[in-house]
Amino acid sequence: MDENGQRGSSRALYDEIRARIADGTYRPGAALPSTRALAAERGFSRTTVSLVYEQLASDGFIETRAGAPSRVAAGAVPDARTDRDAQISAEDGGAHRHAGRLSVIGTRVAALALHEPVPTAADEIDFVYGPLAGRDFPILPWLKALRAVERQRSARLAYEDPRGNLDLRKALQTHLSQSRGLSCSVDQLLIVNGSQQALDLCARLLISPGDPVVAENLGYQMAHHVFETYGAKLLPIDVDSHGLRTDLLAQVPRAQMAYVTPTHQFPLGSFLPIGRRRALLAWAAERDAWIIEDDYDSEYRYSVRPEPTLRSLDSSGCVIHVGTFSKTLSPQLRLGYMVLPPRLVDVFSAAKRLTDRHVTTGSQRALAVLLEDGSYDRHVRRIRRLQHARQAALVQAITSHLGERVEIQGAASGLHLVVWFREFAAEKEPILIESARQKGVRLYPVSQFFHPAGRADASIRPAGLVMGYALLERDQIEEGVRRLAAALRELGSDRF
């Protein structure tokens, strides 16, 4: 991480610990994680974490003693308003004297340590997961659909149904039935601004402060953050090579919700087998818990067809199925959908109306055209082939340059792999990433996907990287892995 990156991260960490003290997660007298453990978990250097602790100590929030864990200071009182006012006053010369406070949720949001995308240099090879390549977007069919839609602009520019444009919901109903074997009525479909909005609506409508929510550990941080922001008590449950350890659910007597990625566990990439699916559904039915099934990238199963959804097995009506077009078309479109159990339709529809009335009509109708005229399916077939070829290039490059030193996980599907470095403990991830960075390769640690409340001990698990390939062509992939191997050689095993 460069100097600005380090500074931004330490500020975020400082704010996060302050917020956890303020909301009572860390009570006065409670021990904080060791600097070593926290550094390994977040992918920071230990110096960065030590400096944050020193700052917190000098501001009176924690007490540090050599050789003993740092503890929350007895007099650490939450006072977000005073500090924020002081900060704003300092920044703008005191022009803002307004004394309004943030809400509890606002305070939590302000304290989130969200990973902002860091701009990459032109010659840097970026194994980022998330963005798609602009050149893969189906620009001609999309423009054609948009033009067709605009030609049929209606005389009356009225608000859309908050559940979404009817043509799109009809086309999506057919598409889900054909591609996912998922049957639902058009009324059960809600078009949202990406899955993130679906998660936000679920959190707002289904979670009350303190409600236990089961989440996969490792798991999707953007989901965890949104649930915790609305007051959920997250219960991280371990995942293994088959996904969520449903045998551990017996330890969770009460939960309001479980959030899972059963078709392609994020980030480890496994498929949840049928036995575990049934166990999860039975557990939820017994406890009247909701299950959110995040089906974010099932289009990218390379060897076999995507298996039936959890929702298709659900006889009690507890599964909320969420999907997105962010992985096949573009995350910039902000187009996603929910398949809701019938009794949630009205409340979600009302909440969607209150939030932003509805998703942009033009893009909903254009997507309906793509689904109806077959160009979406053609595009998916094409992009699946492309992504599969990139993945094969990555697996091949890793195998030939890193060989036995690493283990690859999650190659059956998706747009990323997880690569475990057998020789190095997790706490070495920052060194590994920094040395690759010096060679012009951008890599991302797996540590960020462990939930702080359920983290595996960083000293006993190997270092891991999440390597996305959707932005890269084969020669860049090969060159990136070659440089990574060179960086590892230069580091020398004595550094580890």
Ligand X SMILES: Cc1ncc(COP(=O)(O)O)c(C=O)c1O
Q: Give the footprint of ligand X on this chain (CB under 6 A).
A: 130, 194-196, 220, 261, 266, 294, 296, 324, 326, 331, 336
How many other CB atoms are found less than 10 A from the CB of residue 11?
A: 13
**Cβ atoms 446, 268 nearer than 8 A:** no
**Closest by alpha carbon to 421, among 447, 391, 392?**
447
Give dist(CA 176, CA 199) in Å, integer: 20
- For the bound state, the minimum distance from the C-beta of residue 326 to ligand X, rounded and expressed in Å, comes to 3
- Contact predicate 295/309, CB 8 Å: yes
What region, left, alpha or beta, does residue 224 occupy, with left being phi > 0 and alpha being psi -120 to 50 degrees? alpha
Buried b (16+ CB within 10 A) or exposed e, 135-149: ebbbeebbebbeeeb
CB of 272 to ligand X, least distance (A): 14
Query: In this complex, which beta carbon is closest to ligand X, that of residue 137 or of residue 496?
Result: 137
From the CB of 294, what's the least distance to ligand X, in Å? 5
Q: Which is nearer to ligand X, 63 or 307 (CB)?
A: 307
Closer to ligand X at the Cβ: 165 or 261?
261
> Smallest distance from the beta carbon of 408 to ligand X, in angstroms?
19
Residues 6+ apart with CB under 8 A from 362: 146, 149, 150
Question: Does residue 263 sit in helix, strand or coil?
Answer: coil
β 441-442/125-126 pair status: parallel
Shortest separation between residue 217's beta carbon and ligand X, angstroms: 14
Q: How far is the CB of 226 from ligand X (least distance, A)?
A: 10
Shortest CA distance to 326 belongs to which of 168, 192, 472?
A: 192
> Alpha-carbon distance 223 to 122, whole Å?
31
Tracing tokens 């698990």 back to the chain, one arrives at 461
Q: Which contiguous run of DSSP H or E holds residue 58?
A: helix 46-58
Structure tokens at 109: 């949001």
Nearer Cβ to ligand X, position 33 or 336? 336
**Nearer to ligand X (CB atom), residue 309 or residue 324:** 324
Shorter beta-carbon distance to ligand X: residue 50 or 261: 261
Cβ proximity to ligand X, 38 vs 292, nearer residue? 292
Q: Using the minimum distance from each CB to ligand X, give the nearer residue, 56 or 198.
A: 198
Smallest separation, CB 330 to ligand X (Å)? 9
Q: How far is the CB of 192 from ligand X (least distance, A)?
A: 8
